[in-house]
Amino acid sequence: MQLSSSKLSQIIACVSICIGLIVCIGWILDIPSLKSIIPNEVTMKFSTSISFIFSGVTIYFISRYNEGKTGIAQIVVPISSFIVFLFMATLLTAYVFGITSGIEQLFVRENSDAVKTSHAGMPSFTTTVNFILIIVAGMFAFSESRLKKWVTPIGYIISTIGIIAIMGYVVNQPSLYYYIDNVNSAMAIHTSILFVILGIALILSRNNITVQHSESVKIHTKIISLFLASSLIPIMFVVGLSFNILEDFPASESVKSMIIISIVTTIVVVLFSLLISKSISKPIISLKDVAIQISKGNFSLKANESDNDEIGELSKTFNQMVNNVIKSERLSTMGLLSSTLGHNIRNDLNVINMALEILKYKDSIKSDENTLSKITVMERSVLNIQNQIDDTLNFIRQTPLKLEKISLLKLLENTLKTIKIPENIKMDLSLNDISLYCDSSKLIVVLINLINNSIQAIETEGKISIKAREDQDHSIIQIEDSGSGIPSEIIVKIFEPLFTTKIKGTGLGLASCKHIVEEHNGSITVQNNPTTFTIELPKTQLHSKHN
């Protein structure tokens, strides 16, 4: 039966765990043959054996992660890597600064005259570097970026360092297994062998990097696990060092106090971890529950936006997304209905309009002012319906721009032909003519909407002024009216689809204007005192996607 690269990687990781445990037992029970394969040669240090246990655990779960067993791996790998890093970073710092960290004598004391050891309990510099490389490989293997590709080179580096040390033992050359008298401890033979096979395990795990299926652990569980690990491991680390120091100063009361303090601290840390993890995971779980309810069609629910952290920002973004989805659904439904009904309704309205025109010129009705006023009301109603249909169809239509150069005055002339200006309103068109590069039919829709809005805003007598000017890059049109203005609290919303303050409005007229202007790579803004809509269009559309 042929083993897969993933299974072989797991077997090697288990071998590392077992050898690490055996050497730990050798130190605890003081069995020399377990500390060193070759009698009276370099020992594997206690910190090294602990690190091999957790490095094996790391590589085992990297391989499991690549098989899709992601849930438990996301908890175990950070914790085991943290333990290794705690040991190795401390030792590496002590080595660089030439100090004694205390970890060299953690739990088990090594003799000061240990073979080819610069300082009792201190592993070689290359040993600490290799363990840190294993941690880095674990981080890269879990990365979603291109960092994954570095797992294989790291495996080769680790194996190469181990192979060089083995060759040093074969040719009896201490410098090859990294021994420098009073400077660097030698790398033990079984340490060298384990590094070779762990490097191979990393290379094999990289060959099976695509996750086929995945399982997950609840975020609450992850947070508790990682918080406990980051809290309890340093506590046990410090307690171990403290007990080691207390062995030199035997005092039963001191030991008793240390035990009590350790127990109380551990309990406090556990309770604190539970509370903190719950406070972190609760809003996330709440957001998930809201999402589930919304997916079932309950759009009345909202995520809690009270927090001022990233979760609060996520909740606000989530609520905005839901609002946009609701609007999109409504607009989509409206589009389907409009395209189906618009044509038929327009035909019927044309028939009604023609009938009203015929009635107005009948001799029996010409002299009847009451009947004529009623016909006028009906004509206005028909016009309102036509305007609402136009607003809706203009908003949902998606047609490419047909760009041409046209005079603004000519464009206004064509626009005003389609608008009935009331007698109480004066149009001021005393403007310098400018050329526009635009889709004239679409820009007429914008002008019709804006002028009609101005007409509706003027309750009694008033004036609508249209001005034009140019700067270096833009043609600028301003439509100003003497109406009552737009309330400040709604002025920021008037271009939003479906927003309207009119009883008979669709809320699509100004949204359609904004869409058309932005199609031209332009902008439309509004300001009060007096109410003025400003359209800016680029003089050239060379970069337009519609050109």
Q: Over its length of 547 residues, how does the chain's per-residue pLDDT go in tens digits?
A: 567 788 888 999 999 999 999 999 998 888 888 988 887 889 999 889 999 999 999 898 888 776 666 667 777 877 888 888 878 888 888 778 777 666 666 666 788 788 898 888 889 999 999 999 998 988 888 766 677 888 899 999 999 999 999 999 999 999 999 999 888 999 999 999 999 999 999 888 765 545 444 455 566 566 666 666 666 666 666 666 555 555 554 555 555 555 565 566 566 666 656 665 666 667 777 877 888 887 777 777 777 776 666 677 778 888 888 877 776 666 666 666 666 666 667 777 778 878 877 777 776 666 677 777 787 778 777 777 776 776 666 666 667 778 888 899 999 988 888 888 888 889 888 788 888 888 888 898 889 889 988 888 887 888 999 999 888 888 999 999 888 888 888 888 888 876 676 655 566 778 888 888 988 889 999 988 889 999 999 987 644 444 4
d(CA 181, CA 167): 19
Query: Which residues are CB-contacts of 181 (< 8 A; sequence separation ≥ 6)?
Result: 118
Q: Residue 377 has which token pair? A: 């009301």
Q: Residue 510 has which token pair? A: 């100004």
**Structure confidence at residue 96 (pLDDT):** 80
d(CA 133, CA 161): 11
d(CA 47, CA 349): 90
The CA–CA distances, whole Å, from 207 to 26, 61, 143, 210, 300 equal: 35, 15, 15, 9, 49
Tell whether pTM > 0.85: no
Residue 534 near residue 476 (C-beta atoms within 8 A) = yes
Place of tokens 């008033």: 462
d(CA 44, CA 191): 6
The overall average pLDDT reported for the chain is: 79
- Residue 200 bridge partners (DSSP): none
Conformational region of residue 254, where left means phi above 0, alpha means psi within -120 to 50, and beta covers everything else: alpha
The CA–CA distances, whole Å, from 264 to 31, 213, 270, 271 equal: 35, 42, 10, 11
Phi, psi angle pair for 534, to nearest 5°: -115, 125
d(CA 259, CA 257): 5
Conformational region of residue 68, where left means phi above 0, alpha means psi within -120 to 50, and beta covers everything else: left
**Structure confidence at residue 395 (pLDDT):** 63
Query: What is the signed CA dihedral for 452, 453, 457, 459, rounded to 10 degrees?
Result: 20
Q: Residue 454 has which token pair? A: 């101005």
Domain ranges of the chain: 5-217, 218-296, 310-391, 400-538
Query: In the CATH hierarchy, which fold is given to the domain comprising 400-538?
Result: Heat Shock Protein 90 (3.30.565)
d(CA 135, CA 59): 9
**Structure confidence at residue 315 (pLDDT):** 80
**Structure confidence at residue 545 (pLDDT):** 44
Q: How many CA atoms lie within 13 A of 43 on its CB side?
A: 31
d(CA 35, CA 41): 9
d(CA 90, CA 93): 5
Residue 539 near residue 520 (C-beta atoms within 8 A) = no
How many residues in total does the chain contain? 547
Phi, psi angle pair for 198, to nearest 5°: -70, -35
Local structure of 479: helix, strand or coil: strand
Q: Residue 211 has which token pair? A: 């996750």
Place of tokens 């652990």: 217
Handedness of CA 128, 129, 134, 135 (dihedral sign): positive
Task: Report which of 134, 132, 117, 292 is spatially closest to residue 187, judged by C-alpha positions.
Answer: 117
Q: Where are the beta strands (DSSP E) in 486-530?
A: 523-527
